[in-house]
Amino acid sequence: MNEEVRNMTKTLYDPAVEQRGIKKGIEQGIEKGIEKGDIRAREEMVKEMLLDSESIVKIKKYSKLSEEEITEIKNKIKQ
């Protein structure tokens, strides 16, 4: 009976599966970090362009953000 339980446990717990899960989690974390960095960089660029009195049309073109997103950033600057 003890051997049977051990074999069942082995099949339920596979270290290779655990390692793949850890690797996938790390990759997802890196992707999210890169995304956040990209968003922050674009927000900073928009802030600089707004402070330089660039037009919303030009900011949209270069930042690839919507007018609504640009307005949100503009409102943050005013606070």
Q: What is the pLDDT of residues 18-72, one digit of tens each?
A: 888 899 999 999 999 999 999 999 999 999 999 999 999 999 999 999 999 999 9
CA distance 8 to 47: 59
pLDDT at position 1 over 70: no
| Predicted TM-score (pTM) of this structure | 0.64
